[in-house]
Amino acid sequence: MGKTVFVFSGQGAQYPGMGKSLYESSDAARAVFDMAESIRPGTIKQCFEGTKEELSVTINTQPCVFAADLAAAAAVAEKGITPDYVAGFSLGEIAALAFAGMLSYEDAFRLVCKRAEVMDKAAKENRGAMAAVMKLTPEKVEEICAQFRQAYPVNYNSAAQTVVAAAEDEIDELCAKVKEEKGKATKLAVSGAFHSPFMNSASDALAEYLEGVELREPKLPVISNVTAQPYEGDYKALIAAQVKSPVRWQKTVENLVEWGADSFIEVGVGKTLAGLIKRINSEVKAVNIETKEGLDAL
């Protein structure tokens, strides 16, 4: 029998009303949201009633998406479905760490609030932009980025999609270069150049914050965005490095399949990861659970 993976969605998938039906139908999901609300009052209202604009602000997005992700995972586990591995995309990795027991839910939520704060600060101090590049290989995207002063591949999503980060004054020229090379580039509506050297100060601030956070051994393997391998060694250094390092999502999925995974359940917000997984390997099962209807269907 194949192995099951819970994958936790990241920033960008948020939408008004996320998590509401699970809150109303699952005791486990409700407990997660109530925990978040006790630490950061207003989180539930933002998730369920917040506007798209309000939810797009990094210091709101990250706590809200984290709560919705972890609540969905708790609701699925409440039904008796447990994973063999967990992985998260960017922000989603913190929810994966919490679900695996490396962090208490409370400590993980506080960490996410701090992460949002320092990433937002770094984005304002080091102005950058991001674009999704399609129809070109990751290697070709790396070649293009190397031609610019500050441009980096930051999300290796699939063989035909790589997200890049660049200085604000270089992103348009980079997109034009992609078009010259017969690719397609779409600028992303984000507030900073995440997972790149533009986030070095955020990484340093997280490392300092983590000195006061207790980490435990995970109860199941958590796959790191930085290495595409299970967490090992200095856990705190990996968590801090993640915000300034590329997300190796394609390699993560390929490794999980190699290790026997054939069922992926995207817990939380949106269907982005399930779609990427199917593009990486069309033979595996990939579903998303973010509502009561989806949970019942599972």
Residues marked active site are found at 90, 195
CA–chain centroid gap for 244, Å, is 13
φ, ψ of residue 2 to 5 degrees: the values are -70, 165
3-state secondary structure the chain: CCEEEEEECCCCCCCCCCCHHHHHHCHHHHHHHHHHHHHCCCHHHHHHHCCHHHHCCHHHHHHHHHHHHHHHHHHHHHCCCCCCEEEECCCHHHHHHHHCCCCCHHHHHHHHHHHHHHHHHHHHHCCEEEEEEECCCHHHHHHHHCCCCCEEEEEEEECCEEEEEEECCCHHHHHHHHHHCCCEEEECCCCCCCCCHHHHHHHHHHHHHHCCCCCCCCCCCEECCCCCCECCCCHHHHHHHHCCCCECHHHHHHHHHHCCEEEEEEECCCCHHHHHHHHHCCCCEEEEECCHHHHHHC
* Tokens 């969905």 belong to residue: 72
